[in-house]
Structure 1
Amino acid sequence: MTNRHTVTASLAAATVLLLTGCASEAGNAAPASPAPPASTGLPFGAPPVPAPLDPAPLKKAPCDAMTADQVASLGAPLKTARSKPADPTGPACSWIFDYEDIVSAVSGAVFTGDPTHGGISGLYGQKQFNGLTRFEPFSANGYPGVIYDVGTNSLRGSCALAVGLRDDLTYTISVALDGLKHPFAEGCELGKKVAGYVVQYLQKGGR
């Protein structure tokens, strides 16, 4: 009886060890599943802003977003800046270049006139539903932006852009240059520089 019980106990212990070893090997053999890509949490896959920017300085003095030297760096000296705090789209400024054609200008506005526009994600939504004929993401000092167009016959030298100040708020930029684009760079490249200046201005708290 004693020998029989000893043999039975030994077999049981061996079986437990064997099963434990198999489980361990199986655990080592099964690679961990890769983590799913992180979601931005914004509608239509739009990129989030790295940190919200307070638009208050632009609402108070829209034309302070760029200095005369910064405007000149875009291609021609500043002739005049027209502040439009009550613009329908939101507080805006038009910077008119001192150039012979007297029509080249760039305008920027805090897009507060339509609280339902949805920030940058609103443009991503329009792209998804084929509401835009041009859609080119870009970044201004780490802040997400989009070059966009809703038409098919845009004027030469013109460009529309938006850069996110918050996930639900954009600063929109409209570029209108002379048809030959001289002495300016390409209109959208000029607009991206403006977006960078605006973001820098707000990052410094409007100083």
Structure 2
Amino acid sequence: MRPKATLLTIAALSSMALLGGCSDQKSGTPTPTSAPSPTGLPSNGAPAVANPIANTARYESDPCATIPTADIESIGGQVERSEQENMTMGKACAWIFSKGANTVSAGLVAGNKDGLSSLYAQNATGGLTTFKPVEPVAGYPAVVYANGGEGPGTCTLAIGVRDDLVYTIIPRLGSDHPSYSDPCGLAAKVGAAGIKNLKGA
């Protein structure tokens, strides 16, 4: 056991709580690519998910099954162990790398029923310190965000897999990790692996 790695994992997973949505969301003006569905999503200018992934229940309850450990190792290096983390907004899997205090966590944030729209709403009200829509991951819209805690080796990437559901990836890397200077690049690769398996469910 390495206490430092465990603390990094807990800190990373706490970022997922930001996706709980806002109590005072304001309706945005929809664009042609973000027309609201009958549920009112997407909203606040968030992009629509063109090919929503419906069958996610298994991976919501068993996040470590979403990506085989071998796939994580091909992206980030040898994994010492993985462990499930139970959070208020959903379950996540933390993969702890063998070398140094390096982790990557990922999970479907099932408790957030507004998907990416919740982040767009929080950004509109000044609730985030980082908000950056990025290139789609495996064809799915994505945002890098934070509410404090930014720093080298860290990134929080949310990918919209449905208008009402996001898959969030959070690497926490030390300077000894090859992806230390590009944690969001590693997050995108992990996200693409997750999307591939979610679509095959």
Q: What's the TM-score once normalised by structure 1's chain length?
A: 0.72
What corresponds to 2:32 in structure 1?
38
What corresponds to 1:71 in structure 2?
72
d(CA) in 2 for partners of 1:172, 1:126 = 16
What corresponds to 2:38 in structure 1?
none
What corresponds to 2:139 in structure 1?
142
Residue 177 (structure 2) pairs with residue 182 (structure 1): yes
SS of alignment partner, residue 110 of structure 2: coil
SS of alignment partner, residue 95 of structure 1: strand
Residues 1-207 of structure 1 mapped to structure 2, 5 A cutoff: 38-41=32-35, 42-53=42-53, 54-84=55-85, 86-99=86-99, 101=100, 103-115=101-113, 118-138=114-134, 139-151=136-148, 153-178=149-174, 180-185=175-180, 186-205=182-201
Asked if the contact 1:159/1:188 (under 8 Å) is kept, the reply is: yes
Letter in 2 for 1:190: L
Asked if the contact 2:34/2:48 (under 8 Å) is kept, the reply is: yes
Report the CA distance between 1:181 and its aligned residue: 4.9
Letter in 1 for 2:43: P
Question: What is the total number of aligned residue pairs between the two structures?
Answer: 162
Report the CA distance between 1:75 and its aligned residue: 2.7
Q: Name segments (4+ residues, structure 1) moved above 3 Å.
A: none
Question: What are the superposed Cα offsets for residues 52-110 of structure 1, whole Å, 9 maximum, x if unpaired?
Answer: 212123124211122222111223111111023x43221211011111x2x21011121
Asked if the contact 2:91/2:107 (under 8 Å) is kept, the reply is: yes
Higher relative contact order (Cα pairs below 8 Å, separated by 6+ residues)? 2
Indicate the RMSD between aligned Cα atoms, in angstroms: 1.8
Aligned sequence identity (%): 34
Report the CA distance between 1:182 and its aligned residue: 2.4
Q: What's the TM-score once normalised by structure 2's chain length?
A: 0.74
d(CA) in 2 for partners of 1:124, 1:131 = 10
* Residue segments in structure 2 that go unaligned for 5+ positions in a row: 1-30, 36-41
SS of alignment partner, residue 162 of structure 1: strand
Q: Which has the larger radius of gyration?
A: 1
